[in-house]
Amino acid sequence: MKKPALFRVFALFLVISSLHAFQSDELDEEFGLEGGNLQPQEQILDPVVPTRSTPTRGKYSDSDSDSKIQITLEQAFGDSDFFPAATFSARLKTWSHGAQTLTKLRFSRNSFTEVEKQKFQKLLEEDEFYRIRLPSNVLNPTGKDFVISSVRARCLPRDGLDEHFVIHTEGVNILAVNYGSPGACPYPRQLRFPAKWSFNSHTVLKNSEQAPRTPTFAEDVPGELGEGETVPPPERSFWAKYWMYLIPLGLIVMNAMTQAMNLPEEQATGQSGAQPAAAIQRGPSPAVRRR
Amino acid sequence: MAMAIRSLLIFLCIQSIAVPTFSLYEDQAGLMDWHQKYIGKVKHAVFQTQKTGRKRVLVSTEENVIASLDLRHGEIFWRHVLGTDDAIDGIDIAMGKYLITLSSEGSILRAWNLPDGQMWWESFLQGSSDSKSFLFVPTSSKVDKDNTILVFGKGSLHAVSSIHGDIVWKVDFPDESFEVQEVIQHHDSNIIYVVGFVGSSHFDVYQINAKNGELLKHDSAAFDGGFSGEVSLVSKAKLVVLDAARSTLLTISFQKGEISFQKTYISDLVKGFSGIAMILPSKLTGLFAVKTITATTFISMSSEGQLEVVDKINHATVISDALSFSEDRQAFALVQHGDSDIHLNVKQNHDWSSDLLKERIKLNQQRGFVHRVFMNNYVRTDKSHGFRALIVMEDHSLLLLQQGEIVWSREDGLASIIGVTTSELPVEKEGVSVAKVEQNLFEWLKEHMLKVKGALMLASAEDLAAIQGMGLRSSEKSKMTRDHNGFRKLLIVLTNSGKLFALHTGDGRIVWSLLLNSLRQSEACENPTGINVYQWQVPHHHAMDENPSVLVVGRCKPSSDALGIFSFVDTYTGKELKSFGLDHSIAQVIQLPFTDSTEQHLHLLIDTSGQAHLYPRTPEAVSIFQLEFSNIYWYSVEADNGVIKGHGLKSNCDGEVANNYCFGAREVWSIVFPLETEKIITTITRKSNEVVHTQAKVVADQDVMYKYISKNLLFVATVSPKASGDIGSATPEESHLVVYVVDTVTGRILHRMNHHGSQGPVHAVFSENWIVYHHFNLRAHRYEMTVIEIYDQSRADNKDVWKIVLGKHNLTSPMSSYSRPGVTTKSQSYYFTQSVKAISVTSTAKGITSKHLLIGTIGDQVLAMDKRFFDPRRSVNPTQSEKEEGILPLTDSLPIIPQSYVTHALKVEGLRGIVTVPAKLESATLVFTHGVDLFFTRLAPSRTYDSLTEDFSYALLLITIVALLVAIFVTWVLSEKKDLSDKWR
């Protein structure tokens, strides 16, 4: 399984580099999967402004069958009804174990008509919601269950209208769509009209991330608090190891030295002790003078 | 030198890591904590007063507790809490030494030893169908060897030996839908009559040999009018039952193999009868009671089957079962409500006109109506018969009445708390001097002398006991005024019975209690239930002259579309300020973070149709609300459909309820979980009043991480539908647990993680930027606790000090949910050996103190665990700098240190919730745990670093200072003298 996957990635690289002419560089899900399974399985699709149907089918020689499906993105201005605005085309991949997943999502957006432009301008002025929705079940849309997302219209305009989709899927079901501006949308939101009325779309397809495994240790390794296993600390300098002994020692030595220095002094004063005593007796001390 | 300081720091750090628990000494138990034991609303009671020794009453309750209470004081001798799904169907005493309980819809029969409550035996009764269950212990006067108990459960009748619990015989009735109503065994006869209904119109009688369970005879008769359930056995061979329309009484006699029906219209007996009637369940002979809307009618039946009305009572009335107190004499108790008191009458079965006992008892108005009464007799000192009655009140309290007085009472409503909030106590008014509080100076001195003795280890054992006693009943902690540290508060709890209690945190006493009239049965509201209690008005500016109040929210019926009820209660006086019914239902109550000029909290109520209603209904509240109108969002979870929706506000709502305080809502976002793969089992958010001290977290090597702190985060856990049952019902392959962190403003999924081979139940706690949840790992066959921490990447580059100094940072910019969040998450799982009933986290006033998780374990104890154990950054070999930061070495399982049980030796039986409240002192947090029992304590997760402990002896400090001053003075005088003498020399 590993070899074909690697081969596929390699082939994909070739394809990506060869597809540079038209601005769609798509990543397959295997791309993110190999290597780190802790990474979220993301597919990043860069803006595909006008989509062209690219003959990608031939590149895959899998036994897994896959088919193409179309998902309609609907939009609403404020509290209006939803009507189609764009289509996602995706590939439905059926794995050998029966599970189906959506891959290779591609997006084509209809640009705003004049009426829609006016409606959007009104939204911008009122700081209202621009809402989108996708069917939650893409295989057989019941027309009932939709995942909805909305954004304050003022978050979208930059040069054009920048939008960012994050589509969370679970198998063939769309769990949620997160819609918003690709960057920040600081509050309070300023009224700003886009320079050009074309959408600049980014789409990310997200699958569930795998939870990290609980670490397992052999029986003997950790103690109750994990203290048992301490790696011998790196060799420290003599000073770092024994400073707590050295400092008191130094202090004692210093103390002893000062005492030793005082001793001869005292002896010296002791010898001449009689004189100052006599002097005190003779001359009255300042304290005495105060009285 | 820097190195030295560093090493010292490391040393200290490791020291602090080594003992991250706090525990208390034996003599400290009960100083800061209190524990109260309850049993719940009593369902059945049997007295055990025949033998000498301590008289007791054995009860089973709606909280699935069986207990033996002291009849003199109401204390609990012993108590067992059966599981939540093990409801008790009946109890009785067998052979004078066992308490027999039948539970779990007639499938588990147990015998408990009466004196100590040890289980003697346990039998599981198998059967095919679910049915009513029934326990019948024959009262045979002579104790013979094969004393059997008759149990009807699971569709068959079992005879069980009361000595060892073996099933002697078992009868399956030929008709599976046979519903047993009564089992009758005549005194010392070998024939058991089992009567019941098949379907709604067939009456069947079976005669069974009591020795071997042989079916002797089966009679059946049909009645066109149908039956309606309740049966009253009036004599040995006569039953009274209502027909399906509940307007006709049917007397059924079934003796000697013949079944005959006799119809009597209630309207013939009771004048002005209309509507439906009900037979009160009672076991009286020759008498039964029929309850209609207006009155309770007592009807006697003569031996020929003639019905005659003996009395009609218009008040609420409750009757007890019959009690035979001497040879052939039977009595029963009748309790009626007067204006402010209750009348207890004990009557003989055949003689309605005279009373054996007539008592009038003054009763607290806050107890409501009498719900059940159980009677017992005793022999008075003058050898006459005395009677006592155990009554269960509307507020679930239990009272023993004897000689016209309440001998004892138990507030067992507190066993079923549904809502908790806190209220501050009144500010201490000026003029209250210290002398008034401390009784007198001599006492005060004595106390301090004792403390000094204790501190200097001079105290004798007696003194030590005195010191401990002083601590326990210290007047300081149970004072009715606010204290400096915020330890003294009122816990306002709402119980299932609709009664509100205020408990003092100092000693747990009930300061006031109030049976809310709005939560009692009335014509407008037939079956009201409380939902929760919220802080309504918390005066800070006018704390001296205004009282705080709480809001109690309820609804008329248990179903969510019933109309709501509001009630406001003053927390100082315990009086209901006002109450009213709402004109809409209540699906959600959202406490908004705004207050009006009178410091009332604004509340937004969402009804089932999705409209939002603002309270208080004042123009001022609306004007405050309008300012933030466009920034108010909420979410709703439809667990059955697997949908989570986000809502925002729209203009005023339309329709017939249109007013200024009603707002329409619109759907802003939605998340749809595919029903075939995911089922929502848990959702949890952060506590709205949680305080976070700092967003920045300094990690090893002077690096900074920014916590992603948003109040609008929702944690959702889903499992595969197959794995939503009990543990073990699904294989690891078909079960998975997916957790989500969702922003509730935009519906953005910030994090999504799949645990393969795991399943619920999931208990979670969300605080600051982290979530800890508990689940079961099927592959490892162990419980796990997983932590998720969310960090903000968009602020991560604010690390340069110069940037911050020059103001080139985005730390002060407001956060918007509409910005694309740059978050990173870290997570880690650890094994945990216990299953969990509840998880909570400590909360402090400023959020500086480190957090402890409070885990309510399956053993009904509360375990405190340092949050550092749940750090996702723990690694096997933490580097030196990580150790300095306080990161513990990685282990695969979480240690359970016995000293860190905050409940120490106690158990909070039937633990349901853990509530934490910050105290004013930053280091302390108050923890209130409720279940069948209540437990309260004060914790200091990082020890009390900001105050002296309570047992700190100020007197000793004072004495030391004085002694030092004296010593200084003395030495000064001495040295002066010496100086002087030196100088004079």
Summarize pLDDT for B161-170 with one digit per residue, the tens.
Answer: 888 888 888 8
Q: Tell me what the pLDDT averaged over chain A comes to.
A: 69
> So what's the pLDDT on residue B727?
83
Contacts of B4 in chain A (CB under 8 A): 240, 243-244, 247
pLDDT grade, residue B433 (50/70/90)? Answer: very low
Whole-prediction pTM: 0.82
* Burial annotation B840-857 (CB, 10 A radius, 16+ → b, else e): bbbbbbebebebbbbbbb
Q: Which of B669, B674, B890 sits opposite A173 (nearest CB)?
A: B674
Average pLDDT of span B375-401: 89
Average pLDDT of span B835-843: 93
| Interface touch B678/A127, C-beta < 8 Å | no
B residues 712-741 lying closer than 8 A (beta carbon) to A: 738-739
> So what's the pLDDT on residue A36?
34
Q: Is the pLDDT of residue B317 over 90?
A: no
ipTM of the complex: 0.78
HSE of B435 in the Cβ direction (CA atoms, 13 Å)? 4
Q: Is A117 helix (H, G, I), strand (E, B) or coil?
A: helix
| Cα dist from A88 to A33, A68, A73, B669, whole Å | 23, 10, 7, 19
Average pLDDT of span B435-439: 48
- Residue keyed to tokens 């103190």: B849
Average pLDDT of span B317-327: 81
pLDDT grade, residue A58 (50/70/90)? Answer: very low
> So what's the pLDDT on residue B436?
47
Average pLDDT of span B66-84: 91
> So what's the pLDDT on residue B41?
94
Q: Is the pLDDT of residue A144 over 60?
A: yes
> So what's the pLDDT on residue B677?
87
| Interface touch A225/B888, C-beta < 8 Å | yes
Question: Is B627 within 8 Å of chain A by CB?
Answer: no
The percentage of chain B sitting over the pLDDT mark of 90, rounded to a whole number, equals: 32
Q: Are B408 and B73 in contact (CB under 8 A)?
A: yes
HSE of B150 in the Cβ direction (CA atoms, 13 Å)? 23
Average pLDDT of span B690-707: 83
Average pLDDT of span B308-328: 80
Distance CA B915, CA B856 (A): 11
Q: Are B91 and B99 in contact (CB under 8 A)?
A: yes
Rounded (10°) CA dihedral B910, B913, B916, B917: -100
Average pLDDT of span B813-837: 85
Q: Is the pLDDT of residue A63 over 50?
A: no
Q: Which residues pair with B613 in a beta bridge?
A: B605, B662
| B902: DSSP letter | T
Which two tokens mark A117?
Answer: 């432009």
Angle in degrees, 0-180, between the axes of helices B441-455 and B954-984, rounded to the nearest 10: 80
> So what's the pLDDT on residue B185?
78
> So what's the pLDDT on residue B32?
82
> Distance (Å) from the C-alpha of residue A290 to the closest C-alpha of chain B?
13
Q: Which of B668, B819, B892 sits opposite A215 (nearest CB)?
A: B892
Q: Is the pLDDT of residue B87 over 70?
A: yes
Q: Are B774 and B785 in contact (CB under 8 A)?
A: yes
Pairing of strands B398-402, B385-393: antiparallel
pLDDT grade, residue B773 (50/70/90)? Answer: very high
Q: Is the pLDDT of residue B18 over 50?
A: no
Considering only CA atoms, which of A26, A59, A83 is closest in space to residue A204? Answer: A26
pLDDT grade, residue B812 (50/70/90)? Answer: low
| Interface touch B753/A131, C-beta < 8 Å | no
Which two tokens mark A141?
Answer: 């849309």
Higher-confidence residue of B599 and B272: namely B599
Rounded (10°) CA dihedral B456, B458, B462, B466: -20
Contacts of B749 in chain A (CB under 8 A): 166, 168, 175-176, 178, 206
pLDDT grade, residue A33 (50/70/90)? Answer: very low
Considering only CA atoms, which of A101, A41, A30, A89 is closest in space to residue A65? Answer: A101
> So what's the pLDDT on residue B750?
92
Q: Which residues contact A151 (CB under 8 A, 6 or more apart)?
A: A129, A130, A179, A180, A181, A185, B746, B818
From the CB of residue A116, how many other CB atoms can be counted at a distance below 10 Å? 16
- Residue keyed to tokens 């009679």: B219
Q: Is B482 helix (H, G, I), strand (E, B) or coil?
A: coil
| Interface touch A145/B819, C-beta < 8 Å | no
- Residue keyed to tokens 């509100």: B500
Q: Which residues contact B982 (CB under 8 A, 6 or more apart)?
A: none
Q: Which of B630, B780, B819 sits opposite A185 (nearest CB)?
A: B819
Distance CA B569, CA B586 (A): 20
> So what's the pLDDT on residue B23?
67
Which range has the worst mean pLDDT, A52-56, A234-238, B103-107, B454-458?
A52-56
Question: Is B807 within 8 Å of chain A by CB?
Answer: no
Considering only CA atoms, which of A178, A126, A133, A134 is closest in space to residue A153? Answer: A126
Contacts of B820 in chain A (CB under 8 A): 164, 180-184
> Distance (Å) from the C-alpha of residue A1 to the closest C-alpha of chain B?
21
- Closest residue of chain A to B826, computed from CA coordinates: A212
> So what's the pLDDT on residue B382?
86
Q: Is the pLDDT of residue B817 over 50?
A: yes
Distance CA B16, CA B335 (A): 63
Which two tokens mark B504?
Answer: 């003092």
Q: Tell me what the pLDDT averaged over chain B comes to.
A: 84
Q: Are B693 and B707 in contact (CB under 8 A)?
A: no
Rounded (10°) CA dihedral B426, B428, B432, B436: 80
Pairing of strands A199-206, A161-170: parallel
Q: To probe the interface with B, which of A134, A178, A217, A290 has the most B CB atoms within 10 Å?
A: A178
Which two tokens mark B922?
Answer: 């930053």
Q: Is B805 helix (H, G, I), strand (E, B) or coil?
A: helix
Distance CA B665, CA B650 (A): 5
A66-69 contacts, C-beta under 8 A, 24 or more apart: A66/A91, A66/A92, A66/A93, A66/A94, A66/A103, A67/A91, A67/A92, A68/A92, A69/A102, A69/A138, A69/A139
Q: Is the pLDDT of residue A286 over 50?
A: no
| Cα dist from B276 to B245, B246, B269, B290, B470, whole Å | 7, 5, 14, 10, 61
Q: Are A86 and A49 in contact (CB under 8 A)?
A: no
Q: Are B908 and B37 in contact (CB under 8 A)?
A: no
Q: To probe the interface with A, which of B891, B899, B981 has the most A CB atoms within 10 Å?
A: B891
Contacts of A209 in chain B (CB under 8 A): 751-754
> Distance (Å) from the C-alpha of residue A140 to the closest C-alpha of chain B?
13
Q: Are A115 and A185 in contact (CB under 8 A)?
A: no
Widest CA span in chain B:
133
Q: Say how many Å lie between the first and final Cα of chain B, rounded.
A: 51
Average pLDDT of span B629-650: 90
| Interface touch B979/A127, C-beta < 8 Å | no
- Closest residue of chain B to A286, computed from CA coordinates: B983
* Burial annotation A12-43 (CB, 10 A radius, 16+ → b, else e): beebeeeeeeeebebbbbebbeeeeeeebbeb
| Interface touch A214/B819, C-beta < 8 Å | no
